[in-house]
């Protein structure tokens, strides 16, 4: 497998040009905004020639993408994808600037909206979020990360104990006299259910995986 994804191409238009001309000004300042408006529109409100030129030039910019998949990459594709997904989720967790709406039913009670102070009507009208809004997303991301970390590891081994002593008797495998090997089946089942829920969360909030 070989994957190369170049950076997204930035659009350079009238407002970006205005920021460059007035580089010593804050990009959100009124003078930068007014210069951008002047460069972008004609007196009649139509797009300026400069704006049309910028859009035309932008059509020639393409993000560099090179993906090669080898046949062995699909032998254990769940394991292969997990090794890619985990570092991407961790990077998103470190650099996220927002959080999507998360259903209360998908998180423990302590992170649900009903566990946060009730918002006033004014706060609701101005688009404020409850105190658990970001912790909910953080919890969901951590569950996704944990889930795919399991897929790229031999997690079942933590539920094994004892020593294996297997014998063949007339072609049939049987436990030997010194076999003490056991598997915590209940622990394995609980672990699998958590992984199943992590994959469900990944699918449900897949379109929320943005920076």
Same domain, 38 and 141: no
Q: Are 118 and 129 in contact (CB under 8 A)?
A: no
pLDDT at res. 6: 84
d(CA 126, CA 130): 12
Q: Which structural domain range is residue 88 located in?
A: 76-211
The mean predicted confidence, pLDDT, of the chain is 91
Of 12, 45, 68, which residue constitutes the final position of a domain? Answer: 68
Same domain, 86 and 154: yes
**For the chain, what is the radius of gyration of the CA atoms?**
27
Nearest by Cα to 205 from 92, 72, 120:
92
d(CA 112, CA 29): 38
Would you place residue 123 in the very low, low, confident or very high pLDDT band (cuts 50, 70, 90)?
A: confident
**Residue 135 in this model has a pLDDT that exceeds 90:** yes
Of 10, 40, 68, which residue constitutes the final position of a domain? Answer: 68
Same domain, 36 and 81: no
What average pLDDT score do residues 164-173 get?
A: 81
pLDDT at res. 175: 84
Q: Is the pTM of this model over 0.85?
A: no
What average pLDDT score do residues 63-91 get?
A: 92
Q: Are 51 and 13 in contact (CB under 8 A)?
A: yes
Same domain, 127 and 47: no
**Residue 138 in this model has a pLDDT that exceeds 90:** yes
Would you place residue 21 in the very low, low, confident or very high pLDDT band (cuts 50, 70, 90)?
A: very high
Bridge partners of 167, per DSSP, are 174
**Residue 5 in this model has a pLDDT that exceeds 90:** no
Same domain, 5 and 85: no
Same domain, 139 and 50: no
Of 68, 91, 119, which residue constitutes the final position of a domain? Answer: 68
72-76, 161-165, 174-178: least confidently modelled range: 174-178
Would you place residue 140 in the very low, low, confident or very high pLDDT band (cuts 50, 70, 90)?
A: very high
């Amino acid at each position: 497998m070989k994957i190369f994804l170049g950076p997204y191409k930035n659009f350079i238009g009238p407002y970006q040009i205005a920021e460059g001309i007035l580089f010593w000004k804050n990009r959100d300042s009124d003078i930068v905004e007014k210069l951008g408006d002047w460069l972008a529109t004609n007196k009649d409100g139509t797009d300026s020639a400069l704006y049309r030129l910028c859009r035309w030039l932008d059509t020639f910019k393409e993000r560099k993408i090179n993906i090669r998949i080898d046949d062995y990459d699909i032998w254990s594709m769940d394991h292969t994808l997990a090794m890619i997904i985990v570092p991407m989720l961790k990077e998103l967790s470190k650099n996220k600037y927002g959080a999507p709406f998360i259903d209360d039913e998908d998180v423990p009670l302590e992170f649900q909206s009903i566990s946060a102070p009730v918002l006033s009507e004014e706060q609701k009208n101005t688009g404020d979020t409850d105190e658990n809004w970001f912790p909910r997303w953080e919890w969901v991301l951590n569950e996704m990360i944990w889930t795919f970390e399991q897929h790229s590891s031999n997690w079942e081994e933590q539920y094994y104990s004892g020593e294996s002593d297997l014998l063949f008797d007339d072609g049939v495998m049987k436990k030997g006299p010194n076999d003490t090997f056991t598997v915590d089946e209940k622990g394995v089942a609980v672990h699998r259910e958590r992984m199943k829920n992590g994959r469900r969360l990944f699918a449900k909030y897949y379109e929320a995986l943005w920076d």
